[in-house]
Amino acid sequence: MIPLETQEDRRREEIEAKRKPIPREPEAHSLAAQWTGLFLAPAVFFVHLQGAYLLVLWACERQGIEWIHAAGAAAVIVSMIGVFVAWRVWRAAGRTEQSDLPGTKARARFLAECGFFLSAVITLILIAQVITGFFISPCQG
């Protein structure tokens, strides 16, 4: 037997249809990824700068300049991870979309753009610091 639909069943369906959640704007990436793309490279830069100051005295005493180069290479690699994370968030948030509407997607795009360009510049600065380490001895000055 086919059940007959009553007016009460229709009313219940209408109420259920009204209760459906409002569709949310999809997240571009997690907040952690957005902030990682923005702050990883600057944090690596400052850690590398302090670590290089500490390594210079040790390298001058023991002629262990390879540790300065290894620390610089590690800093560049980790900084490039920050560039990559920011680029992924930017791509997921829509690089070419132009919107002045507020929301999670606009925030993600803004943080990703800022993070990408900031991380890219800091990575170039780190590369320049590593290159100068090949020309200047830690014992100079």
Tokens of 35: 């902030």
Give the count of beta carbons closer than 10 Å to the beta carbon of residue 81: 16
Mean pLDDT of 2-21: 73
- The residue-averaged pLDDT of 82-100 equals 84
State the average pLDDT over residues 55-69: 86
Neighbours of 19 (CB within 10 A): 7
Provide the pLDDT for residue 65: 85
- Contacts (Cβ under 8 Å, ≥6 apart) of 80: 123
Give the CA radius of gyration of the chain. Answer: 26
Number of helices (H) and strands (E), helices first, in the chain? 4, 0
Q: Identify the residue whose tokens are 């209408």.
A: 14
AA identity, residue 50:
Q
CA 19 → CA 16, 91, 141, distances in Å? Answer: 5, 34, 73
Check pLDDT > 60 for residue 81: yes
Residues 6+ apart with CB under 8 A from 62: none
pLDDT bucket at 83, cuts 50 / 70 / 90: very high
Instruction: Give this prediction's pTM.
Output: 0.73
d(CA 84, CA 125): 17
Q: Give the pLDDT score at 59.
A: 86
- Predicted confidence (pLDDT) per residue in 94-120, tens digit: 777 766 667 778 888 889 999 999 999
More confident residue, 76 or 93: 76
**What is the average pLDDT across 133-138?**
84
For the stretch 12-59, pLDDT in tens is 777 777 776 655 555 556 888 999 999 999 999 999 999 988 888 888
Token pair for residue 3? 């059940």
